[in-house]
Amino acid sequence: MRRLQADGFSMAKGTRVLPDSPHPATDIVDAPPSRPADSAGYRRLELGVQAFFFIVAIVTALNSLDLGLMVAFGPGPGFFPFYLSIAMGLLVLAWIVQSRRAIRSGAAGDTAIDEAIDYPHVVTVIVSLIVLAALMGVLGYQIAMFLFLYFHLAIRAKRTWYTSLIIALAGSVGVFHVFTDLLSVTLPLSMFGFLNTIGL
């Protein structure tokens, strides 16, 4: 049990065990080789998030005061969020103190996840999803999702054009008809009349 606690319990989805280890219980490692924690990047992110949450706490507290803490028959709409904002502010301060201590003791960044983040992948996925969401209301689900899937399959995953085409059609037109015709769950149609009339 102690062996597992020492290194095995951080296992989660996607974790692999060294296949040919004579002591599998002790040789559990993460699947992707972890990059060393980027301490400076970690600290910048941590500081940014702490500042953001502290500002949110102040804005929420002020907003709650405007809403009113008490009304004639008891607590008002601002009562609960006001005290939560105070708690949030105090917790952010406690976190800042903990981080400062960690920096002084040289342990800063040690708590960051080991998962190496591929930033180009993150940006591409997020931007493509934003474009998809923006286009869904204009072009409708089928065209927007088709473009999204074709981009991810043909360009990012480098699948052949016909594989990408088939999967993109299935994920856009196919899913649309399964949801609308079989499950009675409507997905958006294009706002352009000429596309709308042909069912897109």
Binding to other proteins in span 136-195, by CB under 8 A: 136-137, 145, 148-149, 152-153, 156-159, 163, 167, 171, 175, 179, 183-188
| Least distance between other proteins and beta carbon 55 (Å) | 13
Contact call for residue 47 and other proteins (CB under 8 A):
no
Exposure of 15 in the CB half-sphere (CA atoms within 13 A): 14
Residues 6+ apart with CB under 8 A from 43: 99, 103, 108, 109
Nearer to other proteins, 32 or 199 (CB): 32
Site string for other proteins, 64-103 (x = CB under 8 A): ---x--xx-xxxxxxxxx--xx-xx--xx-xx--x-----
Nearer to other proteins, 10 or 197 (CB): 10
DSSP of the chain: -HHIIIIITT--TT-EE-TT-S-GGG-EE-SSPPPPP-HHHHHHHHHHHHHHHHHHHHHHHHHHHHH-SEETTEE-TTHHHHHHHHHHHHHHHHHHHHHHHHHHHT-TTTTS-SPPP-HHHHHHHHHHHHHHHHHHHHH-HHHHHHHHHHIIIIIIS---HHHHHHHHHIIIIIHHHIIIIIS----PPPSSHHHHHTT-
| Least distance between other proteins and beta carbon 51 (Å) | 13
- Total interface residues for other proteins by CB under 8 A: 88
Nearer to other proteins, 78 or 200 (CB): 78
Contact call for residue 36 and other proteins (CB under 8 A):
no
| Least distance between other proteins and beta carbon 20 (Å) | 9
| Least distance between other proteins and beta carbon 181 (Å) | 14
Contact call for residue 132 and other proteins (CB under 8 A):
yes
| Of positions 126, 191, 196, 199, contacts other proteins by CB under 8 A | 126
